[in-house]
């Protein structure tokens, strides 16, 4: 049983007053929580949801846009000031280490080079490959979303073969990889930036309902103001900041 808390489920621009992408997974007793994306507002989002940033063991990053990875410098510095000792693993697209170092140096000069009491290890996830990240098997597909590095669609298997499967689109235009990544998943967390308005590089509700999705449960996230103004779609659930579910 995994507890999923949507600490942040907004877009990049604060639509609906929502925090940027920050989805907190608590796999179960004895395992450190994992974040799916860490947007710039994530420390505030976690604390608002009553979650301790210091216990997060790993962060899985879908792509290198500020609303998905911009909270990492704050998370790392918070750990430093809170005298964290447990290691932190960050897994993201190729180029994550370089972009993280650049972000830290831009926001807090000197912060990337400081000696810390805890290890920050960066692991790169390649489209088409599978890697184990903190007891979670992570398979990645390439998304259609330019971000200076390949953006990823992720499929997480928690608890080994036959375990709980959570798929996450990140940001992407429709691609058949979404169908594959979410095949019979227990939960698909899907971007629904707009209802049916054609927008480049992003997923629409219309894309999801017109393609085959076999996931048992679908929760929509990363919604624009236009999407939030609609009645919630009947077929799927819509996330809100602070939503807690178990899968």
Question: Which residues contact Zn ion by CB under 5 A?
Answer: 65, 67, 171
The Cα–Cα gap between 135 and 167 comes to 16
Tokens representing 89 are 């693993």
Of 93, 149, 100, the closest CA to residue 123 belongs to: 93
Would you say 38 or 46 has its CB closer to Zn ion? 38
In angstroms, what is the minimal distance from the CB of 146 to Zn ion? Answer: 9
Of 218, 213, 224, the closest CA to residue 238 belongs to: 218
In angstroms, what is the minimal distance from the CB of 62 to Zn ion? Answer: 8
Would you say 103 or 158 has its CB closer to Zn ion? 103
Q: Could you tell me if 151 and 191 are in contact, meaning their C-beta atoms sit under 8 angstroms apart?
A: no
The Cα–Cα gap between 127 and 141 comes to 4
Would you say 14 or 232 has its CB closer to Zn ion? 14
Would you say 65 or 99 has its CB closer to Zn ion? 65
Question: Rg of the chain over CA atoms, in angstroms?
Answer: 17
Would you say 171 or 207 has its CB closer to Zn ion? 171
In angstroms, what is the minimal distance from the CB of 111 to Zn ion? Answer: 24
In angstroms, what is the minimal distance from the CB of 51 to Zn ion? Answer: 21
The Cα–Cα gap between 238 and 93 comes to 27
The Cα–Cα gap between 65 and 39 comes to 8
In angstroms, what is the minimal distance from the CB of 202 to Zn ion? Answer: 8
Helix (H) or strand (E) segment spanning residue 22: strand 22-26
Three-state secondary structure call for residue 92: strand
Would you say 193 or 236 has its CB closer to Zn ion? 193
Q: Could you tell me if 201 and 229 are in contact, meaning their C-beta atoms sit under 8 angstroms apart?
A: no
In angstroms, what is the minimal distance from the CB of 63 to Zn ion? Answer: 6
Dihedral class, residue 170 (left if φ above 0, else alpha if ψ from -120 to 50, else beta)? left
Would you say 144 or 217 has its CB closer to Zn ion? 144
Q: How far is CA 34 from the centre of its chain?
A: 10
In angstroms, what is the minimal distance from the CB of 31 to Zn ion? Answer: 27
């Amino acid at each position: 049983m995994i507890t999923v808390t949507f600490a942040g489920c907004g877009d990049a621009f604060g639509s609906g007053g929502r925090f940027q992408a920050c989805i907190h997974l608590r796999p179960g007793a004895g395992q450190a929580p994992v974040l799916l994306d860490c947007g710039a507002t994530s420390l505030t989002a976690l604390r608002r949801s009553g979650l301790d940033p210091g216990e997060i063991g790993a962060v899985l990053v879908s792509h290198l846009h500020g609303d998905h990875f911009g909270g990492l410098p704050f998370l790392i510095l918070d750990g430093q000031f809170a005298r964290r000792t447990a290691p932190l693993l960050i897994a993201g697209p190729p180029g994550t280490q370089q972009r993280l170092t650049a972000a830290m140096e831009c926001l807090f000069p000197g912060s990337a080079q400081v000696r810390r009491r805890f290890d920050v290890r960066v692991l790169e996830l390649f489209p088409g490959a599978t890697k184990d990240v903190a007891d979670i098997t992570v398979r990645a597909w390439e998304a259609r979303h330019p971000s200076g590095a390949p953006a990823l669609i992720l499929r997480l298997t928690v608890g080994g073969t036959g375990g709980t499967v959570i798929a996450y689109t990140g940001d992407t235009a429709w691609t058949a990889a979404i169908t594959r990544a979410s095949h019979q998943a227990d939960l698909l967390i899907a971007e629904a930036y707009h209802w049916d308005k054609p927008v480049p590089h992003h997923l629409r509700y219309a894309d999801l309902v017109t393609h085959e999705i076999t996931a048992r449960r679908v929760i929509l996230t990363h919604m624009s103001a236009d999407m939030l103004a609609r009645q919630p779609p009947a077929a799927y659930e819509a996330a809100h900041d602070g939503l807690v579910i178990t899968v």
